[in-house]
Amino acid sequence: MTITVAERSYSRGEVSSILHPLVAEWFSNFSDLTPPQRYAIVNIHEGRNTLIASPTGSGKTLSAFLSIISELVRLGEENSLNDAVYCIYISPLRSLNNDIYKNLLVPLEAVKRLAEQRNITLPEIRVGVRTGDTPQSERTKMLRKPPHILITTPESMAIMLCAPKFREHLKSVRWVIIDEIHEICNSKRGVHLTLSIERLEELCTRPFARVGLSATIHPLEEVARFLGQKNGEERSCVIADTRFVKPTSVTVSCPVSDIIHPSRSLTTSAMYKQIRDLIGKHNTTIVFTNTRSGTERVVYHLSKFKAIDADELAAHHSSLSRETRKEVEDRLKEGRMKAVVTSTSLELGIDIGSVDLVVQIGSPKSISRCLQRVGRSGHALDKLSKGVLVPVEQDDLVEDAVIAQEALKGNLDRVYIPRNCLDVLAQHIVGMAVEKKWNVDEAYQLIRRSYCYRDLPYDSFKRVLKYLSGGYQSLESFRVYGKIWYDEEEGMFGRRGFLLRMIYATNIGTIPDEVAVRVYTTKNRWVGMIEEEFLERLSRGDIFILGGKTYEFLHAKGFRAFVRPAESQKPTVPSWFSEMLPLSFDLGEAIGRFRGDVFDMLERGDFRAEGITKR
């Protein structure tokens, strides 16, 4: 079983021939196949594990879903579509999940209309989103009528595997799609997901096809192994490598002529004027800031300039309420926003046709992240993706310049996939114990199917079991207690106590914990979340900003803070834990080479290079 690169390019006629006639008729409205559609649709239709690498706006998502939609329509016409989950779509961001949900409804509703016109009876093909934002009422509905296409996140996926009733609906899964796979596999979230997927396959009645999507993957073969390898042997995986040069413009624009000597206030003022002018010259602009507190600060200062109507400027980040984020996303897609300021929550995948400029304040800290963010503009094959990097200090200027140079060369950051993470392993062993009693050797073999645990030592696995069962008396002073029982002689383990399921569900994942305090207005409208530490510094009457709007703090009760709108007063900007983005390794190496070249030139007294002057 090997990893291969797709060499066959299929024609429109060949692709249409494998689709249900109704789906093929809807698809005929598109002028032509995009590159990923030519190489991927047939392979996914034939059940092959497929990794699609293609630029933003090239039709990757439709490539992944088209044959799946066709098969669901076929099952519906044959009256064989059961109340079960057939496809799971996993992405790292909730905003991307909401976008995919809306995009899937378009072909499904169109096919349903075509069926009605031809007197063909089709059952409803349901699509559902299940994340941390999903209300309990919607989750209850999914128990009765599960979505045929389930959209979720890695953390929610792990929780569903231990949900006694809902996990029964997962036994019929035939496809798992991992979007923005480069973002997932590069951290412990990806390690966590690989174990969830192997546990899902153990639950399912037959193996399912795995589909990975990304615009900025490097190296392809490594990510393909992450997607498909099993027990040290590679599952067959086809790489649809349709990377090509999409029209892209990345410009570094310093707000001042001298970024070293002017005061910070002068540089910041010039930056806001520059951003205001850029927004005024474009239809819709997304401004990236890297942090949530930076997002709030920029929205506040841009609103003070009054160059943009208040209804056309908004903030978007993960600490805002679900309703606020969804409203901003909907208005963006409808072209009713002039500018949206965000941290990281809009950088992946979301399709916003009206955006024609991306502004990055400071350094995005990664070549791939820069291209992902710039790709939010001109989200189509024939449109220009345009980005302006605005440095606010000299280190930003160097990083931005090197990023633009590396992007021009076509270089991307390599993914570095973590291996044998014992903290993640411990979580999944607890989850497996919640499911049933396990034979130790069978559990070990399941875990080693994951690419991230392919060479996990058996002794390390047994030590984690002993740790989780409270077998190390020396740790009692640290309040480490047994969560599972482990019989080493019999080679079996299982759950200990009835509360383990709740402990597992409330402590799952690898994203750092934040003690969140919900902020409500006096009319009981949820605004967003602040941290407990920030709340402790607030006194009655203090003004702070959230979602680009200013509020007066009234009082707090438990983990709820109550506020009322307060206009025309200078606010405090909240801070959130785990805000800073790390510098990618490959970008750090490139910056080191650049600085080395500059120092060598200075030592030689060579000032002929453009932009270098002797002082």
pLDDT, tens digit (0-9, with 9 covering 90-100), for 468-478: 998 887 777 67
Neighbours of 166 (CB within 10 A): 18
Give the CATH fold of the 3-241 domain: Rossmann fold (3.40.50)
Domains 3-241 and 248-409 share a fold: yes
Using CA atoms, how far apart are residues 338 and 17, in angstroms rounded to an integer? 43
Model pTM score: 0.85
pLDDT tens string 365-396: 999 889 889 888 876 667 888 999 999 999 99
Using CA atoms, how far apart are residues 155 and 183, in angstroms rounded to an integer? 15
pLDDT tens string 15-66: 999 999 999 999 998 888 888 999 999 999 999 999 999 887 778 889 999 9
Read off the amino acid at residue 274.
Q
Q: What is the pLDDT of residue 614?
A: 45
- Which of these, 265, 290, 310, 362, lies nearest to 550 by C-alpha position? 310
Runs of H (alpha helix) within 306-451: 322-333, 367-374, 394-409, 422-435, 440-448
pLDDT tens string 561-591: 999 998 777 888 888 865 667 888 999 999 9
Checking if the pLDDT of 351 tops 90, the result is no
Read off the amino acid at residue 72.
L
What's the per-residue H, E or C state across 164-215? CCHHHHHHHCCEEEECCHHHHHCCHHHHHHHHHHHHHHHHCCCCCEEEEEEC
Checking if the pLDDT of 512 tops 80, the result is no
- Which of these, 556, 551, 593, 598, lies nearest to 572 by C-alpha position? 551
pLDDT tens string 241-266: 887 767 888 999 999 988 888 888 89
Answer yes or no: are the C-beta atoms of 539 and 473 closer than 8 Å.
no
Token code pair at residue 232: 């040290």
260 CB-near residues (< 8 Å, 6+ apart): 394
Using CA atoms, how far apart are residues 526 and 127, in angstroms rounded to an integer? 26
Beta-strand (E) ranges in 6-143?
49-53, 87-90, 127-130
Sign of the torsion angle spanned by Cα atoms 534, 535, 536, 539: positive
Read off the amino acid at residue 60.
K
What's the per-residue H, E or C state across 317-357? CCCECHHHHHHHHHHHHCCCCCEEEECCCCCCCCCCCCEEE
For helices 458-468 and 422-435, angle between their N-to-C axes, nearest 10 degrees: 60
For the segment 400-407, the average pLDDT, to the nearest whole number, is 92
Using CA atoms, how far apart are residues 213 and 51, in angstroms rounded to an integer? 6
Checking if the pLDDT of 541 tops 50, the result is yes
The per-residue pLDDT of the chain, averaged, comes to: 88
Checking if the pLDDT of 610 tops 60, the result is no
Using CA atoms, how far apart are residues 100 and 177, in angstroms rounded to an integer? 12
248-409: CATH superfamily: P-loop containing nucleotide triphosphate hydrolases (3.40.50.300)
Checking if the pLDDT of 356 tops 50, the result is yes
Neighbours of 610 (CB within 10 A): 5
- Who has greater pLDDT, 615 or 10? 10
The structural domains of the chain, with segments of one domain joined by +, span 3-241, 248-409, 422-506
pLDDT tens string 299-336: 988 888 776 787 889 999 988 888 888 888 888 888 88
Beta-strand (E) ranges in 74-162?
87-90, 127-130, 149-152
pLDDT tens string 81-130: 999 999 999 998 777 777 888 889 999 999 999 999 999 989 999 999 99
pLDDT tens string 265-309: 899 999 999 999 999 999 999 999 988 999 999 998 888 877 678
- Can you tell me whether residue 309 is helix, strand or coil? coil
Q: What is the pLDDT of residue 16?
A: 93
